[in-house]
Amino acid sequence: MIHRLPGPTRPCTRVIVFGSLGTVKQAQLSARRLLLLVAGMALFLCGFGPPQLVDREIGPTARVSVGELRSWAEQTYTPDLTAASYLLYDMGSGRVLYEHNSTVARAPASLTKLMTALLVFERGDLNAVVHIAPDDLVGGATMGLAVGDVVTVTDLLWGLLLPSGNDAASALARYMGGNVETFVAAMNARAQELGLSQTHFVNAHGLDAQGHVSSAADLLMLTRELWGYPLFRSMVGTARVQWNGRDLSSTNEWLTTFDGATGVKTGTTDEAGECLVASVERDGRTVLLVIMGSQARYEDATKLYDAFRSAYAWDTANGRELSIINRVYDENGRVWFMHPTGAAPIVLQHQPGVPEVRSFRRLDMPRGDLLAGTQVGVLEWWAGAEMIGAQALVVR
């Protein structure tokens, strides 16, 4: 649902009045009347909120923090989930919109394999071949490897990320590090470099082990790091591939059951419960969800995404009909049309207890001729009486 903002209010007008001299009392009385008249005109012309066109001297008095915006949403739209930890992150605005216990360290199960994959993408030769050894067959989820198989690193990544093969994870760790222990040390070193402060790995596959933990916030950061690899996005967005005459099917059921699901990975152990990192794209916007310690991960993820869709909307003003307020003139009288640049701040839909969000234009025209792309002002976004963000206004 797109939140449509109201049209422009009338601009403020400066009034200069010249009058004749009189007695002091008459002058004082005239001054009072004049002040009341000017004040009345100002209220009539400007309305009772921030004006649509304003002087640069008029500035906001306060800003609303991201945390306050999130708390407004959660007052009305806190989902009831079974998950011990969760979060929802909007890729477009770069903000966590929902979170619960997101920095608590928990068993991550096979979400561990996201770090295994990251090191392979960053440092591995995807065309290299790996000879499968007996120690690679650690049990649990498998891609179906057998001792003596010769498999490319790319095929092992498919087996790691779709059926969540523990055999693929062990083979990759041994190949990349020379031995599993060296690779796990590299996993922990990379976690420190990324600032994953609640994360510590004991193995490369995610089977329960003492001290093997991560958090929803850390897993989000790890997934965002992986998102820069197109092959990773392709793999985790694929429901099924053929390898060596058998199907490798993704454990992520959302890929085939949830509208807009585009990835990424599941994890399940006795200690971790049901875990999920999922990406969803609808209406051109992508969000990442992280679910940990759930009893019903897909139900939890659906509730969390539905809460997000119910509580948030965007309005970049680009779809509105052009009007006189979208036009500016340079000193030679040429007309230019303004448009905002950069992502609009995320906007809460208007609900009881949530301030209505409006946009206002603040012009600051440069002297001389204009060129396409010249900034001529700022589009301010206000929640009630507080400014929550701004976009540059440029001409085209």
The rounded percent of the chain whose pLDDT value lies above 70 is 69
Average pLDDT over residues 252-274: 97
The answer to whether residue 228 scores a pLDDT higher than 70 is yes
Given 93, 164, 170, 250, which residue is catalytic? Answer: 164
The answer to whether residue 353 scores a pLDDT higher than 80 is no
Average pLDDT over residues 360-365: 72
pLDDT attached to residue 370: 78
Average pLDDT over residues 68-86: 68
Determine how many CB atoms are found less than 10 A away from the CB of residue 191.
21
Determine how many CB atoms are found less than 10 A away from the CB of residue 115.
28
What are 304-350's pLDDT values in tens digits?
999 888 777 654 444 333 344 466 666 777 777 777 776 656 655 54
Given 110, 170, 279, 359, which residue is catalytic? Answer: 110
Higher pLDDT, 364 or 121: 121
Cβ atoms of 70 and 97 within 8 Å: the answer is yes
Cβ atoms of 99 and 122 within 8 Å: the answer is no
List the single range of 20-24, 134-138, 187-191, 250-254 with lowest mean pLDDT: 20-24
Determine how many CB atoms are found less than 10 A away from the CB of residue 53.
16
pLDDT-derived band at 368, boundaries 50, 70, 90: confident
Higher pLDDT, 222 or 52: 222
pLDDT attached to residue 352: 52
pLDDT attached to residue 263: 96
The answer to whether residue 20 scores a pLDDT higher than 80 is no
The answer to whether residue 6 scores a pLDDT higher than 80 is no
329: which 2 tokens?
A: 């003139």
Average pLDDT over residues 107-136: 97
Higher pLDDT, 290 or 78: 290
Cis status, amide bond into 153, omega within 30 of 0: no
Higher pLDDT, 4 or 31: 31
pLDDT attached to residue 349: 54
The answer to whether residue 280 scores a pLDDT higher than 70 is yes
- Domain ranges in the chain are 24-66+315-395, 80-312
189: which 2 tokens?
A: 């070193």
The answer to whether residue 244 scores a pLDDT higher than 50 is yes
List the single range of 35-44, 191-200, 223-232 with lowest mean pLDDT: 35-44
This prediction has a pTM of: 0.68
The answer to whether residue 194 scores a pLDDT higher than 80 is yes
For residue 386, the one-letter residue type is E
The answer to whether residue 30 scores a pLDDT higher than 60 is no
pLDDT attached to residue 365: 73
- 249 as an active site residue: the answer is no
pLDDT attached to residue 13: 26
Domain 80-312 -> CATH class? alpha beta
Cβ atoms of 173 and 135 within 8 Å: the answer is no
What are 57-66's pLDDT values in tens digits?
334 444 444 4
pLDDT-derived band at 381, boundaries 50, 70, 90: confident
Given 113, 170, 250, 359, which residue is catalytic? Answer: 113
Average pLDDT, the chain: 78
Average pLDDT over residues 235-244: 95
3-state secondary structure the chain: CCCCCCCCCCCCCCCCCCCCCCCHHHHHHHHHHHHHHHHHHHHHHHCCCCCCEECCCCCCCCECCHHHHHHHHHHHHCCCCCCCEEEEEECCCCEEEEEECCCCCECCHHHHHHHHHHHHHHHCCCCCEEECCHHHCCCCCCCCCCCCCEEEHHHHHHHHHCCCCHHHHHHHHHHHHCCHHHHHHHHHHHHHHCCCCCCECCCCCCCCCCCCEECHHHHHHHHHHHCCCHHHHHHHCCCEEEECCEEEECCCCHHHHCCCEEEEEEEEECCCEEEEEEEEEECCEEEEEEEEEECCHHHHHHHHHHHHHHHEECCCCCCCCCCHHHEEECCCCCEEEEEEECCCCCEECCCCCCCCEEEEEEECCCCCCCCCCCEEEEEEEEECCEEEEEEEEEEC
The answer to whether residue 11 scores a pLDDT higher than 50 is no
- 164 as an active site residue: the answer is yes
The answer to whether residue 203 scores a pLDDT higher than 60 is yes
For residue 341, the one-letter residue type is T
